Structure 1
Amino acid sequence: MRRRESTGQLAIRSRGAAGSRYDTGHDTGRAGFRPGGRDTSSPYGARCGSQDRAIPPGSSRDLLCGCISGSRVDLLAQDKLWSPAGIPAFHPALSRDDVEHDKPHPAALEAIARKWNQQLGSGLLMVGDSPSNDIGFGKAAGVSTALVDPRRRFRDGDSSYGADVVIDSLLELPQLLWKTFDIPGPLGSTSAQTLARKSEPLPETAACRAAVDGDIAALKAMAREDLLAADSSGNTPLVWAADAGKADAVESLLAAGVEVNVKGYLGNTAVSRACRRGHDSVLRVLLRSGTGVDLDEPNEKMQSPLHFAAFKQKTEAVKLMLAAGASTTSLDRKGRTPAEDTSDPNIRELILQARASL
């Protein structure tokens, strides 16, 4: 773990295999991150010590979190809201009754650091929305700090109490981590050069070739095991049919009972391939199939289907995915939501409007 001299920021370490989803959920709360955590495939998988329930719902599946709140009653109330949603508990969870000194004394962060067997320093990041209480709290502990300032009240002079970074919302934090921190790991910022482009595969099996050709008669004549089997690229006939834009073949394969969420080449599902190519007719078939299609399943690079549709500027695909309820706050490996992963201002506005309506 090391500081980047150019930014004076912290280094974050993560572990695990590629392809786990990470979603920022709602934009609320405060957090303090520390490197490591449990095995996770998100480059933002880190432990965090938090002030007043830091990590928003949806994101904590990839984080181990510690919490400092005003009282034990607050902690119990928060747990009652979070547990039914299947969100992991913070650890440790402290109230002001559990430490000797109140903020801005660093006693609470010292307790969290001891629990994690870590030293206070730039490898911990305290995120909060109060310059005096939260940023002052972090500075007193000698950790890195980020101020959440949605109303832009603390941008002038010393009003931010010297926060290392100031952001409008927690949605900005993961991309900020990517841009300014060293994040080792298979998908981290320090491994970007290893993610080389690969040549596009070709269909190899008879079923895969029939899917690409849209040969419904050939597909119907094949055994179910052939329709389920992937070729050496990892693509099944369904993924190949979606990639080729063969809506009738997709419908035939789904009727035969193939798995709709199966992952193929580079971890992409049929929905991902349809979004990437802009095959709207295929996407409509998949979305109305009633087979439990996963709208947000990421590929090996943590790109969700909506990321693909936005990045490739497939407006109709974006509209279909938003209407179906795709997450507007899922993050790719660089911490970008789909709205940040497009150069089309109209698509960006569609996604932001959908987010605001939730």
Structure 2
Amino acid sequence: MGRHRQPPRPVREQLGGSALSVPAPGPDARSVSTPVADRGTLDPGILVGGRRSKVTSTLLAYVALTKPRIIELLLITTIPAMFAAERGIPGFGLVVATLVGGTLAAGSANALNCVVDADIDAVMRRTRTRPLARHAVPTRNALVFGIVLGILSAAFLAWTTTWQAAVLAVVAILFYVFVYSMWLKRRTSQNIVWGGLAGCMPVIIGWSAITGGIGWPAWVFFGVIFFWTPPHTWALAMRYREDYAAAGVPMLPVVATERVVVRQIVVYSWAMVACSLLLVPASSWIYAAVAAPAGLLFLATAHILHFRVLKGVPAQPMTLFHLSNLYLTVISVAWAVDAAIGLNVVGWPW
């Protein structure tokens, strides 16, 4: 593959996507022709003493392979699960250990994904500043880096938390790389639906780190993230439809009409909100007071997007995309606060 000239320093956007996928970057509303930086990319152009430091640039390139802003979003769902499993405030050391292990696991999956997707990333404006796309890191080195991070994550989680959490982390890495990145992504428009299962894993990893098992509330929140992923990702893919088409990735907005896409977004949005309310019996009015209005706002935004497409006016999908990040953050924090305060209306045995 030919070398690509590095584009101008991109504008950093969104809550990364952090996300922990989510996931995806956070482009703001702008003209379709504007290149947008991938949320996991760090600008390596750090100047030291008036000159670019090669060591610093290389270090930042390896950090960028892990897509740190995606990891942020993943960790947002890990901590509330630990609070809910503890039904209070878990030990600080255990929380830190779980977050470190989870960061290593997510970094491993993301780095290996960069290896698999290097050809796609080089084509798409949103991702062409990733390290492998601009040849900032040798492919072999990136592969070894990703594998080492995965081994370290499993060993660290097994040593500091529970062996169940370590196994779940390994399963998440393997699923994301082999099932999503290498199989689903390039073959089906449902790629993100089933591939998104990997992004749901931090919840049950966090719960397992506390209890050694997986309680039903963790599975419920797992479902929330599962149903959240398609509206979140398809809204972004609507904005960057041409990018995905050029890269040959059959995202739903590439292979289906806008009407089909927004109808699917509405269906998954309703499923997500309904699933989020299933946690109310296992929490208290604090969670309910946040989850219900947040869900209504999300549904209203999804329906507005649907309405705009039906009327043939500009869809503005990025409004829903940005809201999806905020929604997941808000209900995750509400779940954690509710558990930390310790109220439990029904008193379900977990």
TM over 0.5: no
TM bucket (normalised to shorter chain) is: under 0.3
Q: Which has the higher strand share?
A: 1
Q: Could you say which structure has the higher helix fraction?
A: 2
So what's the TM-score if we normalise by structure 1? Answer: 0.24
Higher relative contact order (CA 8 A, sep 6+): 2
